[in-house]
Amino acid sequence: MRFYQLLMLIGLVMLVILGLNTSNQGINNLTREERQAVLDVDYSKGNIKVEALGNSYSYALDRPETGWAGLKQQGRRAVNGFTDYLKKIWTIFDAVFLYE
């Protein structure tokens, strides 16, 4: 049961991202701006390029030991940042709603 819920959640997030990318492209066409996609993954010549929220990240697959080390480090940094963010949100929620 949990697997199907997770699968539906991932599908919903992907549909939202695709909708945001489509609307972003429409806005770019109307205003003649060149804003980046919300989420875009591109593979060419052994390099993976990820664009997320206007930031671009490039990973070289020809040097796997260097690429994996950097990828693991960025993954840890992202998880730690997300954990810190959740802790801050919980502290605010606790202070505002649960404080007696």
Q: What is the CA 19 to chain-centroid distance, rounded? A: 15
What are the tens digits of pLDDT across the range 41-80? Answer: 777 777 777 777 667 777 776 665 555 677 778 778 888 8
> Rounded distance, CA 93 to CA 82, Å?
16
| pLDDT recorded at residue 89 | 86
Q: Are 46 and 63 in contact (CB under 8 A)?
A: no
Is the pTM higher than 0.75? The answer reads no
| pLDDT recorded at residue 10 | 85
| pLDDT recorded at residue 22 | 79
| pLDDT recorded at residue 65 | 58
Cα torsion 6, 51, 42, 78: sign: negative
| pLDDT recorded at residue 61 | 67
For residues 87, 91, 96, 100, the Cα torsion angle rounded to the nearest 10 degrees is 140
What are the tens digits of pLDDT across the range 20-49? Answer: 777 777 777 778 877 777 777 777 777 777
